[in-house]
Amino acid sequence: MTTDKPLNDRVAIITGAGGDIGRAIAMSFVEAGARVCLIDLAPVSIADFPEDRALTLACDITDPTAVDEMVATAARHFGRIDILVNNAAAEARIGKICDLPVEAWTQTLSVNLTGAYLLCRAGIPHLRRSKGVILNIASQLGHVTALGHAAYSASKAGLMSLTRTLALDHADEGIRAVSLSPGAVMTSRLIRRAGSEEDALALHAPRHPLGRIGTPDEVADAALFLVSDAATFITGSDLLVDGGYTLK
C-alpha cells in the first residue's frame, strides 16, 4: 500500500521538545505520518497533537539512568523506535575561557554533547531493528564561532564529529546519522536574549546574506528531509540551514 506520508508510522524521540524548534520538528514529523515522543525536563503540552500520535515524557538527558528509562518507556508505548533527534541545547553562556565558570562549561557540554551520546547509546539497539536514523541538531557556530562562545561552539563542533563517527560505526547495521546546523532562528529564546523580536532582527539579520533570520518551520522542513527516505544515501553529513551565515 502506498502513502503520501513520508514517515508513515515511524516513531521519533525528540529532545528539547519544549522549545520552538523541537516542537516544530515534532509537528512536522506528525504531519508526515510519524508518532513522536516529546522529551524535555518537564512534560510539554501535546494538546495540539493528535491524541494517538504523541507522548510526552520528562527526562534529564544528562542522567544516564533517566535516559535509559525514557527510551524503554517510549519503546513500550509505541512498540518501536525509528528516529532519534538530539535537539536539546543548553542556553549559551557568553564569556572568554578565563571568565567562563567551570559549571557553565560543564553544563553546556553535558546537555549539548553528552546528552546526545546518552540518547544514542540507549536508542541504537532499537534503531538496529528498524534501520533507523539519528539526527543531531548542531549549529552554524559548530562550523565557525563568535566572541565568547567557546563552550557552545565546542559542543556543537563535537556534535558534528560525533555524527560522523556514528555514521561510520553503524553504517553496516543500516543506521544513518546526520546533523543539521541552523543559523539564527526566531525563537522565544532568541527574542528573550535580544529583548524583543525587533531587536533580534536588528542584531542577527545583517549577519546572514539572505538578510533575515530563519524560522522554526524552516528548520523542521530540513529535519524532515534528512530523516525521510528522500535522504537514504546521506549519512555522516551536516546540512547548513543558515541563510548563508558561514559564507562570509
Positions marked catalytic = 152
Strands (E), 83-237: 83-86, 133-137, 176-182
Distance (Å, rounded) from C-alpha 18 to C-alpha 196? 20
Q: How many residues does the chain have?
A: 248
Distance (Å, rounded) from C-alpha 167 to C-alpha 177? 5
CA nearest neighbour of 93 among 80, 78, 109:
109
Residue 241's SS3 state is: strand
CA nearest neighbour of 226 among 70, 63, 28:
28
- The cell numbers describing 239, all together, are 546540512
Dihedrals phi, psi of 191, to nearest 5 degrees: -65, -45
Give the CA distances from residue 155 to residues 13, 105, 239, in Å, rounded to whole numbers and listed in that order. Answer: 21, 9, 17
Dihedrals phi, psi of 8, to nearest 5 degrees: -50, 115
- The cell numbers describing 136, all together, are 543531531
